[in-house]
Amino acid sequence: MRLFLTLVLGAITVLTLTNDPLAQVSSSSKSSAAVASMERKLQHIQSNAKVSQPDQTPTEFTEQEVNAYFASGAVKPPAGVQSVMFQGQPEVVTATARVDFDQLKAGHRSSNPLLSMFSGIHDVVVAAHVRGAGGQGYVNVDTVSLDGVEIPRFALQMFVEKYLQPKYPGVGLDSKFALPNRIDTAKVGLHKLTITQK
pLDDT tens string 145-183: 999 999 999 999 999 898 888 887 888 899 998 999 999
Residue 19 sits at the vertex; the CA angle it makes with 15 and 20, to the nearest 5 degrees, is 90
**pTM attached to this predicted model:** 0.82
Domain boundaries, the chain: 3-197
Which pLDDT band holds residue 90 (cuts at 50, 70, 90)? Answer: very high
Round to whole Å and give the CA distance between 45 and 159. 34
Residue 175, exposed/middle/buried by CB under 10 A (0-12, 13-18, 19+)? buried
Which pLDDT band holds residue 124 (cuts at 50, 70, 90)? Answer: very high
pLDDT digits (tens, 9 = 90+) for 105-120: 876 777 788 888 889 9
Helix axes 33-49, 63-71, angle to 10 degrees: 100
Give residue 74's pLDDT: 86
Phi, psi of 13 (to 5 degrees): -65, -45
pLDDT digits (tens, 9 = 90+) for 14-70: 333 333 444 444 434 444 899 999 999 999 999 999 999 999 999 999 999 999 998
Considering only residues 86 and 104, tell me which one the structure prediction assigns the higher pLDDT.
86
Round to whole Å and give the CA distance between 61 and 63. 7
Residue 74, exposed/middle/buried by CB under 10 A (0-12, 13-18, 19+)? buried
